[in-house]
Amino acid sequence: MGWIKIIELTQPKLKNPVLIQGLPGLGLVGKLAVDYLIEELKPKKFAELYSDYLFLPDGKSGILVDFEGIGSLPHYEFYAYSNPYGEHDLILLAGDTQPVTWAQYTIAEKVIEFARKYGVKTIITLGGTLTHAVRKQVFAVATDEKILKWLSTFGVKPSRGGAVTGACGIMIGLAKLYGMEGFSLMGSIGEIYPDPEAAKAVLEVLIKIFNIPVSLARLDEIIKDMKMRASIARKLREYARLIERRRTEEKKELPGFYV
């Protein structure tokens, strides 16, 4: 059994809370979405989870160092948001890394048990998915069919077949074993990495479902900036290929010997 420690900073009073998890994954969709909610809503951090199962993003043990030179262990952060416009308050779960493969179940179970202390009955995970769908489409996997039918009223399509790997999927599977409801919202990712467009599509659904008072204007600016950078990078790559092709053709035209 590995080392896991949850530090409670405060104990908020929450109304019918749901837990929304956004960790690094395909296109960083889940992380972008939850981090954006945290930045915009300014919820209060009330707990942190530390574990020797949480490695650095490169798979090594150590600490993360910020731009001020402050180091901290990889960890999860729990934020509480009291939503004055919806029926459910939110617990936002954020982090810079996922647990190692062999500890995904252990960490997910600790998170679920901790969330239940605050009355959480529904677990929601956010992530990205690779599909042939039109951009901005959101897909879902849920603990039962009625949730999928309900999500379809928000324009969400069921993800048919395949698998949902990592914390995004395991949290939903364990939620079902604990008698809780759960679903995963996955944005269809494209060529941009990270993919803020897919994160925006997922956020648009979340905002409608829970009536979250947040504007996506700043995210639109991020998308615009990343598209511009991606366009410049694409043109530079095309230019580099053109130069390389010309050099290859020039070498072919040179004589095999000189007099």
DSSP per residue, 212-254: -----HHHHHHHHHHHHHHHHHHHHHHHHHHHHHHHHHHHHHS
The CA-to-CA distance between both ends of the chain, in Å, stands at 77
| Domain extent listing, the chain | 4-214, 216-259
- Output 57 or 95, whichever has higher pLDDT: 95
Run of H or E residues at 153:
none
User: Which CATH number applies to 4-214?
Assistant: 3.40.50.10900
Cβ atoms within 10 Å of 179's Cβ, excluding its own: 9
59 CB-near residues (< 8 Å, 6+ apart): none
> Three-state DSSP class for 44?
strand
Q: Which one-letter amino acid corresponds to residue 234? A: R
Lowest mean pLDDT among 3-12, 37-46, 134-143: 134-143
Tell me the angle at which helices 196-210 and 29-41 cross, rounded to the nearest 10 degrees. Answer: 60
Residue pLDDT, tens place only, 169-220:
999 999 999 999 999 999 998 777 789 999 999 999 999 999 999 999 999 8
Average pLDDT value for the chain: 89
Say what the pLDDT of residue 34 is: 97
- What is the predicted pLDDT for the residue at 259? 47
> By the 8 A CB rule, do 41 and 86 touch?
no
Are 156 and 164 within 8 A, CB to CB?
no
- The pTM assigned to this predicted structure is 0.87
- pLDDT band of 52, cuts 50, 70, 90: very high
